Structure 1
Amino acid sequence: MSETNKKRKIAILTSGGDAPGMNNVISAVYKTIKAINSEKQANKSLSPEEKRPLELMLVKNGYKGILEKEIYEVDDRWKELITISTKIGGTIIGTARFKSFEEEETRKKAKKILDEFGIEALIAVGGNGTFAGLQKLSELGVKCVGIPGTIDNDIVSSDVTIGFDTALNTIVDAIDRIRETSDSHSRISIIETMGRHCGDLAIQAAVNCDLVATPDNPKIQEHELINIIKDLHTKQNLRSIVVLTTEHLYDVKKLAKNIEQELKVETRATVLGQVQRGGSPSAFDRYLATMMGIFAVEQLEKKGNSSSIIGLNGNKLSAMPIQVALSMPKADHFNAISKILRLSGIFYKRK
């Protein structure tokens, strides 16, 4: 095959924790590549080199799939999966956390395998760990584009990440259900969300709660939390109290036991866990994922573009160098948290 007829292969992988909307990215990338190929073939003014068709390659199970050579062309089976996958959560190509990719020798092997498959560019959907891997691959000469896909919304370079909206709605629905049963029994309920070291899920879901605790400043110590709950119970005479907290802050089962012993009020702890990851992506996540997938392919088509991370900023998609995206400072959520706490009559000062 001559160089002008040789396809330009673009690979896509999903890495880290799965997030609703990842399948919509895959679908958008696949369909955009098809559309670009059709447009190029119809454009008689393009040179043979410019008409070189694009081809999507699917990498299973994240970076680990590169090392294991789980790299596939889009055959009829994959086409069918891509078509039906846009309404379901998870990722049809699988995902994995692959600690070995932090090692330079592992990344060099990955680059060699990508070259072996004729892959010229890589799109990766994931979070900060995924993007750190992309940065290292780009230093080895692989053209890369990162798309923020994580329910935690902890990618500073994007106002919102794919999967966040779906997970947020799942949490809000759970809070509503727990509030109903808590009202019926005059209970105190402690609900733990995901988020790792980012409180966005808890902060935005907390508008229907009485108290929220996140890793962000101000962090409420356990004894302070119990005193605030005691105050809510005795002074405001609430029929039920719902407290929302991000994971890794407290042992919520132990916290519930301590509150019950202190206040003599039935207290239950609920860890929402993996239910937050699953489910059909929301309309917003489907749209965001689709537009980011399209934008990623467009970035790879531009001549001279360096490796980049895509973000939604001020309702507009943008691309910035990976290193710039990774070095951005974390957002300060103090004002949002303090205003939500104030709704319950809690005035908390920055420490």
Structure 2
Amino acid sequence: MKKIGVLTSGGDSPGMNAAVRAVVRKGIFHNLEVFGVYQGYAGLMEGNIKKLELGSVGDIIHRGGTILYTARSEEFKTEEGQQKAIDQLNKFGIEGLVVIGGDGSYRGAEKLTQKGFPCIGLPGTIDNDIAGTDYTIGFDTALNTVVEAIDKIRDTATSHERTFIIEVMGRHAGDIALLSGLAGGAETILIPELEHDLSDVMDKLKSGIKRGKKHSIIVLAEGVGKADDLAQRLKTQYDLETRITVLGHIQRGGTPSCFDRVLASRLGAHAVQLLMDGDAGKAVGLVKQEVVARDFHDVLQHSNTVDNTLYTLSQELSI
């Protein structure tokens, strides 16, 4: 293999640039030509491809987002769109592709592999919802962003003696809410994987008030519902006044943490090695601190499950 490509797809996450850098520099170290695909699969179909040099990825390891940009594409989900992508790759002489993204990005890479074009996937998403890896690129940074916000909001919650609801990302996965809530000392954590009863939430708040606690924090994963709706239900059913904060896309940005930079570097380099070894159709991940690779099919057949022991611990510590 002489030429490889790299693209980022789906939602951006801190550490994607570090992964791109690792792919490019590992490839060049082994005398490969490395091409960047811009705007994800949409850009791939359009041939928005450029050769990258060592300097192309200089001073990006500390930057959030992705220098290759990202986009979603409905056309790429079709047979015609996938063939257009392969035609563009062949036009540039690219023989293997590293795809950095989440579940949808993996499905696209699997389709290309099934059509005979070698692909390797890297888990780039803040949600930590990809099977086959303990951590996804960007998750740790997002956690630190949320914990910092919780700490600041707790200061004002204490000053005004109020209950705050903090809505965080996580439509189908509650990892961000669970770990940030545990680290931030939240009194209540609501995640989509586990059902909750509003009366239980209120009982915990009342218990705190009874022992003299005058403020509290509720961390809500967006997959459970909107902070506005929860605030209205607490007001209507229990006459409890709350304040809400929706963190939104601030969780996706910012300088990647040391952990995410190292994780992205390790996984990116391993992806290139797999392509050189002729071992395609794999998703790279980190399991028990070891870099591993599993078939796309195996990874996509499973979902990353929330750690119930951490949820239990959060309940025990927030009494």
| TM-score class normalised by the smaller sequence | over 0.9
- Deviation digits for residues 231-279 of structure 1, max 9, x if unmatched? 3344333121100010131221132233245555541011000100000
Is 1:255 aligned with 2:230?
yes
**3-state DSSP class of the match of 1:147?**
strand
Report the Cα distance in structure 2 between the residues aligned to 1:329 and 1:109, rounded to whole angstroms. Answer: 30
Contact 2:283/2:293 (8 A) holds in 1: yes
Could you tell me how far 1:67 is from its partner in structure 2? Answer: 1.0
Could you tell me how far 1:166 is from its partner in structure 2? Answer: 0.4
Q: Name the counterpart of 2:21.
A: 27
Q: Name the counterpart of 2:189.
A: 212
Identity %: 38
Report the Cα distance in structure 2 between the residues aligned to 1:145 and 1:313, rounded to whole angstroms. Answer: 17
Report the Cα distance in structure 1 between the residues aligned to 2:71 and 2:95, rounded to whole angstroms. Answer: 23
**Which of 298, 302, 318 does residue 328 from structure 1 map onto?**
302
1:113-152 equivalences under 5 Å are 113-152=88-127
Is 1:281 aligned with 2:256?
yes
CA RMSD, 1 decimal = 1.7
* Cα separation, partners in 2 of 1:113 and 1:225, compared to 1, 3 Å: farther
* Cα separation, partners in 2 of 1:329 and 1:166, compared to 1, 3 Å: closer
Contact 1:202/1:245 (8 A) holds in 2: yes
* Cα separation, partners in 2 of 1:262 and 1:230, compared to 1, 3 Å: farther
- Deviation digits for residues 133-187 of structure 1, max 9, x if unmatched? 1111001101110000100000011000000000000000000000000000000
**3-state DSSP class of the match of 1:183?**
helix
Between stretches 18-27 and 110-119, larger displacement belongs to 110-119
**3-state DSSP class of the match of 1:331?**
coil
1:224-235 equivalences under 5 Å are 224=199, 226-235=201-210
- Deviation digits for residues 96-146 of structure 1, max 9, x if unmatched? 121222211211121122111111100000001000111110011011100
Q: Name the counterpart of 1:239.
A: 214
Between stretches 308-317 and 96-105, larger displacement belongs to 96-105
**Which of 24, 43, 48 does residue 65 from structure 1 map onto?**
43
Instruction: Extract unaligned runs of 5+ from structure 2.
Output: none
* Cα separation, partners in 2 of 1:22 and 1:339, compared to 1, 3 Å: same
State the structure with more CA Rg.
1
**3-state DSSP class of the match of 2:68?**
coil
Could you tell me how far 1:24 is from its partner in structure 2? Answer: 0.6
Instruction: Extract unaligned runs of 5+ from structure 1.
Output: 1-6, 38-53, 346-351
**Which of 306, 314, 319 does residue 288 from structure 2 map onto?**
314
Report the Cα distance in structure 2 between the residues aligned to 1:240 and 1:12, rounded to whole angstroms. Answer: 48
Between stretches 24-33 and 178-187, larger displacement belongs to 24-33
Q: Name the counterpart of 1:112.
A: 87
Report the Cα distance in structure 2 between the residues aligned to 1:195 and 1:334, rounded to whole angstroms. Answer: 16
Contact 2:173/2:223 (8 A) holds in 1: no
**3-state DSSP class of the match of 2:72?**
coil
Contact 1:230/1:263 (8 A) holds in 2: no
Contact 2:98/2:122 (8 A) holds in 1: yes
What is the count of residue pairs matched by the alignment?
317
Report the Cα distance in structure 2 between the residues aligned to 1:296 and 1:197, rounded to whole angstroms. Answer: 27
Could you tell me how far 1:327 is from its partner in structure 2? Answer: 1.2
Report the Cα distance in structure 2 between the residues aligned to 1:260 and 1:331, rounded to whole angstroms. Answer: 33
Is 1:341 aligned with 2:318?
no
Q: Name the counterpart of 2:162.
A: 187
Report the Cα distance in structure 2 between the residues aligned to 1:295 and 1:325, rounded to whole angstroms. Answer: 17
Q: Name the counterpart of 2:33.
A: 55
Contact 2:15/2:256 (8 A) holds in 1: yes
Report the Cα distance in structure 1 between the residues aligned to 2:153 and 2:200, rounded to whole angstroms. Answer: 20
Contact 1:216/1:334 (8 A) holds in 2: no
Contact 1:187/1:265 (8 A) holds in 2: no
Is 1:10 aligned with 2:21?
no
**3-state DSSP class of the match of 1:119?**
coil
Could you tell me how far 1:33 is from its partner in structure 2? Answer: 1.5
Report the Cα distance in structure 1 between the residues aligned to 2:247 and 2:308, rounded to whole angstroms. Answer: 24
Report the Cα distance in structure 2 between the residues aligned to 1:98 and 1:244, rounded to whole angstroms. Answer: 32
